[in-house]
Amino acid sequence: MRMFVKMRYQAYNCLIHFYKRKGPSCVMDQLPVRTELFTLEDDIDDKWAVRAKTIVNEPSNEEEVKAKVEDARLKLKEKYPDANTEDIFTDKYIIKYLRSTNWNVVDAKEMFLTSVQQTKDFLPFMTAGSPSQLDKVWSKKIVWVSPKRDQWGRRVLILRLGQWNPSDFSVQHLYTATFSLLQMISLEAVTQVAGTVFVADMQGFGFKHLKALGVEELRCLGSFLSGGFPMWFRKLHIVNNPRLFNMLYTILKGFLGPRIKDNVQFHGYQLPTLLEAVPAEILPKDLGGQSIDADIDLSVEALKKNEDCILAILDQLKYLSL
């Protein structure tokens, strides 16, 4: 199954590169970089329905959509015959997993089971605090989601890992904050189709970070990026990476699956190459971008506003992991 997912994703990646090479007049036109607030919309519009068919193989026939959703629901209920899952396996929730697996019912079921197992294995990294209890993380402005989508409609999460001081708060708090932000945008229908891009700034990464990120922390991150979370992570950009981080990545790479491993790009200290991939309007000024400080706070504000919904999803996964 892993090889099958890899082949499908490589095919998609080749298609995107083809469109980029041919220009915006092709089937997948680039989109304007614009602010789109975190509304957690119910469904995609007609324009995105067309793109979803190409990007995630979304059925255009409503009856086929219903059939796949019901098939996935039945397969999941078979795994939890004694659990009360009526409020868990809703159409919207199942569609999130189907979009994350190119509408393959078997793969969607396996991804959900992986999510449950991941919750069981790495619960402390997801439950260090509710969004409103993580102000010691948010105040450092080291992790946020840009309110602007990129030229392909993707969300962009920015993590200033090198600016994290482990003595200020634990890796569990940092992971929980990041996980909560991603849980929120995973509820956006457009993001389920377009996916998300990571920008990891390693400026300042040193031995204190190396000490804080042990094997268990790397296993958790690898599982999360490699199919344990219902989202397409289209690209991971690593910038300002010192040799010390490269040593850590050698270990992390062993925990990464093909879903993400082939989509990691190291920029070193070359900001121009990062700007070729990520619009300047999205990046902070210290990465050569043009975004303003106010942009950093918008995703956190939206997360706190939707806190009950985010916590409910985690409670459901915890319930099924017992």
User: Taking Cα atoms as reference points, which of 181, 164, 135 lies closest to residue 299?
Assistant: 181
Give every CB contact of residue 294 below 8 A, 6+ residues apart in sequence: none
Q: Which of 215, 264, 275, 270 is nearest to 240 (CA)?
A: 270
Which letter does DSSP use for residue 226 in this model?
Answer: I
User: Which residue, 30, 265, 264, 45, is CA-closest to 150?
Assistant: 30
Give me the percent of the chain exceeding a pLDDT of 70: 91
Residue 292 has pLDDT above 80, yes or no: yes
- Tens of pLDDT, residue by residue over 65-110, are 999 999 999 999 999 999 999 999 999 999 999 999 999 999 999 9
Instruction: Phi first, then psi: give them for residue 154, nearest 5 degrees.
Output: -85, 150
Mean pLDDT of the chain: 90
Q: Using only C-alpha atoms, what is the Rg of the chain? A: 19
- Answer whether 186's CB lies under 8 Å from 230's CB: yes
CA atoms within 13 A on the CB side of 172: 10
Percent of residues, the chain, with pLDDT higher than 90: 84
| Average confidence (pLDDT) over 230-256 | 94
DSSP 228-252: ISSS-EEEEEEES--HHHHHHHHHH
Give yes or no for residue 10 having a pLDDT over 70: no
Q: What is the largest CA-CA distance in the chain?
A: 55
- Return d(Cα 75, Cα 173) in angstroms, integer: 34
* Segment 100-152, tens digit of pLDDT: 999 999 999 999 999 999 999 999 999 999 999 999 999 999 999 999 999 99
In angstroms, rounded to a whole number, what is the distance separating the alpha carbons of residues 211 and 272? Answer: 31
| Whole-structure pTM value | 0.89
Q: Residues 179-196: what's their mean pLDDT?
A: 96
Confidence of residue 8 (pLDDT cuts 50, 70, 90): very low
Residue (of 101, 194, 189) closest to 151 by Cα position: 194
Of residues 18 and 82, the one with the higher pLDDT is 82
Within the chain, strands assigned E span 34-35, 143-145, 148-149, 155-159, 196-201, 233-239, 264-268
Residue 75 to residue 83: CA distance in whole angstroms: 14
Check whether 249 has a pLDDT greater than 80. yes
Greater confidence, 12 or 263? 263
Can you give the pLDDT at residue 227?
87
pLDDT value at position 11? 41
Angle at 85 between CA 83 and CA 90, to 5 degrees: 165
Q: Check whether 184 has a pLDDT greater than 50.
A: yes
- Looking at residue 21, its pLDDT comes to 32
181: its two tokens: 């932000």
**pLDDT recorded at residue 3:** 40
Contact between residue 298 and residue 38 where contact means Cβ atoms under 8 Å apart = yes
264-275 pLDDT tens trace? 999 999 999 999
DSSP designation for 45: -
SS3 143: strand
